[in-house]
């Protein structure tokens, strides 16, 4: 009589363990993003820049700006990073 109960319990515990393991791998461990450099006209600084963006590895969403030539040094970014919200990068303009 007790055998079906223990079988269901064992399968349930195994399923929960696998679920927690997969969740841990994808959400707790740090993800390895990729860096993508783009040269474009920055409408916020009103100049041509080259920026290096950190992207999510799974879907390519930009999550941070690692470097930008609008700042000195390029890794000392002191803005709110509105370029992360740009859908398309404006093409670079001629030097002034």
96 pLDDT above the threshold of 60: no
pTM for the model:
0.65
Locus of tokens 């030539």:
69
In the chain, where the domains are located = 1-30, 34-85
Q: Which pLDDT score, from 0 to 100, does residue 31 have?
A: 67
Average pLDDT rounded to a whole number, residues 56-79: 92
Strand order in the sheet with 34-42: 34-42, 47-55, 62-68
58: nearest Cα among 83, 27, 89, 85:
27
């Amino acid at each position: 009589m007790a055998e079906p109960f223990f079988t269901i319990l064992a399968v349930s515990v195994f399923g929960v363990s696998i679920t927690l393991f997969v969740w841990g791998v994808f959400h707790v461990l740090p993800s390895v993003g990729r860096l993508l450099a783009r040269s474009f006209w920055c409408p916020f600084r009103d100049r041509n820049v080259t920026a290096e963006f950190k992207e999510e590895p799974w879907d390519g969403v930009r999550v941070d700006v690692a470097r930008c030539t609008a700042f000195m040094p390029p890794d000392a970014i002191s803005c709110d990073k509105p370029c992360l919200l740009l859908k398309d990068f404006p093409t670079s303009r001629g030097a002034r």
